[in-house]
């Protein structure tokens, strides 16, 4: 934690559960969205003999909705049998994640080291491991394209998923025409997914919240060179059919976007400032975000992304404020992720240790109700 950020708690306890900022509350109110009461939670002095004054504590993220994307522990799933005592392969790693407390997993591939079985594991075998450990597959990051989509849906259904998605953006383009074309494809694939009882979703990185080039003079190829201030994925929200296309916000990358994508050049050539707000992006369309990556970052303006990726609870991102403000806790599934959790040969258990501490911190997020 950096000295200038000490006022933002990294771990959330019963004494700081309601910390929505005044600026966030004002913005939500102006948008016609519900505003949470801010300030210190009340601890009663009567009525129930000082035991909460009618307040009851509930987990902010229900236990059944606490998940992990297996990309975070890919080093151990892909590991060959060894003598370290650290779990390896799907059977041992998923058993350990269930022991930690996770109820859901999001896939990032379906392979393990062939030395474990003498061949590659099958989706049917993975499904049995899930069932044996009381785990549910809530989604996957796979390739989304028309040619292989039916095959990918077959695997998703074999594993019991309700969502199928990708770890990338629908397009990396800065131009509306490319996002329009992507929306046509995703609307059709989403329709096919819905017919099979699945929801199609896309996962963001920070580039998705950069500004479109949709205004001003044209370049030699006839493309705009300036911006109206509209962000790429926010344009896609309206082009994608809400019946068929859903989203998984990576909360860490959304806050990186808040750091990186703050200015654009308007059609007149003037620089404009616009601060991206992850909460205000989700709150008006919360039902379109069934999944989240609960990935934490410690603010560090000296690095390109403005944050160092850390286990959940060790950084500055205010998950309490985020999940409490967007509401609908039973709708949303939070998958912990850390892109660089592996400790390599020096600390082979590091990714699983990070998974354990992150689960503890996720489970301690609490909401108080009367």
Cα 325 versus chain centre, distance: 16
Tally of domains within the chain: 1
Closest C-alpha among 23, 29, 323, 332 to residue 163: 332
Residue 66 token pair: 């606490």
Mean of pLDDT values over 62-75: 98
pLDDT in tens, 126-179: 999 999 999 999 999 999 999 999 999 999 999 999 999 999 999 999 999 999
Residue-wise pLDDT for 345-363, tens only, equals 999 999 999 999 999 999 9
CA 216/CA 41 separation, integer angstroms: 50
When pLDDT is cut at 50, 70 and 90, the band that residue 54 belongs to is: confident
pLDDT of residue 30: 52
Q: pLDDT tens-digit profile of 164-177?
A: 999 999 999 999 99
pLDDT at 24: 45
Q: Rounded to 10 degrees, what is the CA torsion of 134, 293, 317, 329? A: -60
**Numbers of helices and strands, H then E, in the chain:** 11, 16
- 158: CATH: 3.20.20.150
Task: Tell me the average pLDDT across 72-85.
Answer: 96
Q: How far is CA 260 from CA 10, 81, 174, 257, 359, in A?
A: 22, 42, 16, 5, 29
How confident is the model over 88-110, as a mean pLDDT? 98
Per-residue pLDDT reduced to its tens digit, 211-260: 999 999 999 999 999 999 999 999 999 999 999 999 999 999 999 999 99
- The DSSP string of 36-52 is ---SPPP--SSSSTTS-
**Residue 16 — pLDDT band, cuts 50, 70, 90?**
very low
The pLDDT, as a whole number, for residue 370 is 84
Q: Whole-model pTM? A: 0.87
In the chain the beta strands, taken as DSSP E runs, fall at: 56-59, 66-69, 104-107, 136-140, 163-166, 199-203, 215-218, 224-226, 245-250, 263-265, 271-273, 291-294, 296-299, 307-310, 333-336, 366-369
- Please give the pLDDT value at position 50: 53
> Dihedral of the CA atoms 145, 230, 245, 251 (nearest 10)?
90
- % of the chain beyond a pLDDT of 70: 86
pLDDT bracket for residue 47 (50, 70, 90): very low
Please enumerate in sequence order all residues whose Cβ is within 8 A of that of 42, keeping only pairs 6 or more positions apart, or say none: 53, 55
- What the block records as the tokens of 313 is 């609870």
Arithmetic mean of pLDDT, 291-312:
97
The yes-or-no verdict on residue 21 having pLDDT over 70 is no
Expressed as residue numbers, the domain containing 183 is 3-369
Burial of 274 (0-12, 13-18, 19+ CB in 10 A): middle
Residues in the chain: 370
């Amino acid at each position: 934690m950096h000295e200038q950020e000490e006022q933002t708690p990294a771990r959330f306890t019963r004494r700081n559960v309601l910390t929505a900022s005044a600026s966030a509350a004002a913005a939500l109110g102006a948008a016609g969205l519900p505003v949470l009461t801010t300030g210190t939670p009340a601890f009663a002095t009567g009525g129930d003999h000082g035991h909460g004054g009618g307040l009851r504590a509930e987990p902010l993220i229900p236990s059944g909705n606490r998940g992990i994307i297996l990309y975070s522990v890919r080093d151990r799933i892909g590991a060959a049998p060894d003598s370290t005592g650290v779990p390896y392969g799907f059977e041992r790693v998923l058993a350990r994640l269930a022991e930690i407390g996770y109820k859901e997993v999001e896939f990032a591939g379906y392979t393990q080291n062939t030395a474990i079985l003498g061949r590659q594991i099958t989706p049917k075998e993975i499904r049995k491991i899930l069932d044996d450990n009381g785990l549910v597959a809530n989604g996957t990051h796979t390739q989304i394209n028309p040619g292989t989509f039916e095959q990918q849906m077959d695997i998703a259904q074999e594993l019991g998923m309700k969502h199928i998605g990708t770890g990338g953006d629908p397009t990396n383009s800065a131009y509306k025409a490319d996002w329009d074309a992507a929306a046509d494809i995703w609307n059709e694939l989403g329709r096919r997914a819905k017919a099979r009882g699945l929801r199609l979703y896309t996962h963001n990185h920070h580039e998705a919240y950069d500004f479109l080039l949709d205004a001003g003079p044209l370049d030699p190829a006839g493309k705009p060179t300036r911006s109206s201030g509209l962000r790429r994925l926010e344009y896609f929200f309206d082009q994608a059919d809400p019946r068929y296309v859903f989203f998984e916000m990576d909360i860490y990358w959304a806050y990186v976007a808040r750091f990186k994508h703050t200015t654009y050049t308007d059609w007149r050539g003037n620089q404009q400032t616009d601060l991206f707000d992850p909460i205000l992006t989700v709150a008006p369309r919360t039902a379109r975000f069934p999944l989240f990556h609960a990935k934490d970052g410690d603010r560090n303006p000296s690095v390109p992304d403005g944050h160092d990726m850390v286990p959940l609870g060790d950084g500055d991102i205010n998950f309490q404020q985020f999940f409490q403000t967007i509401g609908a806790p039973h709708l949303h599934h939070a998958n912990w992720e850390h892109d660089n959790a592996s400790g390599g040969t020096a600390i082979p258990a590091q990714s699983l240790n990070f998974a354990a501490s992150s689960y503890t911190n996720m489970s301690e997020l609490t909401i108080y109700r009367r």
